[in-house]
Chain A
């Protein structure tokens, strides 16, 4: 590899095999990038007997994540990076305040043709993929575009006393609860789809996970977050794809 001649010090939280796989698809790590935001998120309240989204809370929870991610974008830009891999966001709550911290490894294309991996505004791509997943994606003919989020904070209605008497000791579905939670998840999922579309991804989203959390709120208030890496197909016809998959038997006992 001719690139081996040009070695500069870097920091990263990649493992050795992740590093090798990144190099194999022509990327080099630059630096571990961090971003944080500190938000007041308070205790939401809602009508006791109504299924409804707490729109303002949804917006705050999304904004806080976006702020932390924007900081990562700025750092990546300053480093001249083409993308960030292995990005993750952690939330730590204390009382009314919550800290959102984002972390990932900024990478740059060795051949200098990183522009085709950046998003349509020329910003670095972001994704939560490991080195191995990144290798697989690129060799599979796709490139990551952005780590996308869909957030929905939802208040699930309380059950009235009358309804409680009707269901006591019986097997039955609780339609109000079912609908509330189902709806909240669907809202989070449709927003993650919108987020990917506005980031300019044309392929789809891989590795979507719908997480459920509540940050010391009332027990009927829940946050649903859908997170995934939005991807686009690589149009370059000279791009090297991986070989056909084969069945292997590993000789290790596990």
Chain B
């Protein structure tokens, strides 16, 4: 098991910047009435309301991170643990701040979370991570928070959220796993052997396969730690983030879910033929 490299940090509670605290306070007026901001589209907004939830407000978190240096061995397949940890830590920090905002808003969870990676021209090793989503709360006051008492998080759209609840599951947490991997360069002899021929490159295959598996394994591990029963909507992204071409980050992200007691059977879908393109 190689998942030990990155334990999910005991999500430290994050302090919010002053303007965030002010904004969150102002999302209720003097009479205690809520006024929301949300990055949901109108359709998502309607479906969230249909699911019995109301928008609480847009929440965001950001972390500007300096990524350390690690030398890679030219002819070696290996994980770049320093980079893996940096990319993970920074995302986790941005997420934790976003969760804290959702908590301050008194919401039950965050949907539609998106993680952006920004680069500014201020330095080569500097990367900014931003997490944005819309905090929601149940209209009937029921508790939907994750087992750890913090708001649930999920990258599901409003449509997916509605479908998920209808089919008897609830989101628990946004889970992720990553792996930055250095893929060995091919030796000159290897190049001579394969030139002009059809053949698999076992070295490359194995490296990329391994890196993806590592990222997935960590994602799975995180979901298990959060007490979820499965993960939906997993995506694996691949990016070099401007590093050397042989250094690639595999980033797996998905929403972990738990079944809920259903009062009625999930609705059967209706077949439709849309006329618009």
Contact = CB atoms under 8 A, between A and B. Distances in A.
Interface string A7-27: 000000000010000000000
Nearest to A181: B62
B202 interface: no
A193 B41 CA distance: 17
Interface in A181-236: 181-183, 185-187, 189-190, 192-194, 196-197, 201-210, 212, 219-220, 226, 228
A156 B66 CA distance: 16
Count chain B CB atoms within 10 A of each CB in A140, A196, A212 and give the residue with the most: A140
B172 interface: no
A249 B42 contact: no
Given A171-B86, A174-B66, A205-B36, A129 B270 contact: no
Nearest to A163: B66
Contact of B62 (A140, A182, A203, A250): A182
B136 to A, nearest CB: 12
A64 B41 CA distance: 26
B45 to A, nearest CB: 5
B192 interface: no
Contacts of B118: 212
Interface string B161-175: 011001000000000
A59 to B, nearest CB: 17
Contact of A185 (B37, B45, B62, B126): B62
Given A173-B64, A181-B128, A186 B17 contact: yes
Interface string A85-112: 0000000000000000000000000000
A170 interface: yes
Interface residues of A, number: 60
B36 A204 contact: yes
Given A186-B23, A251-B272, A133 B39 contact: no
B128 A247 contact: no
Interface size range on B against A? 35 or more
B133 to A, nearest CB: 11
Nearest to B132: A210
B176 interface: no
B55 interface: yes
Interface in A157-180: 158-159, 167, 169-175, 177-179
A167 B126 CA distance: 11
10 contacts: A156-B122, A167-B66, A170-B68, A173-B65, A173-B93, A183-B17, A204-B38, A207-B38, A207-B40, A247-B269
Given A172-B65, A228-B38, 5 more contacts: A132-B43, A169-B69, A205-B37, A206-B38, A250-B272
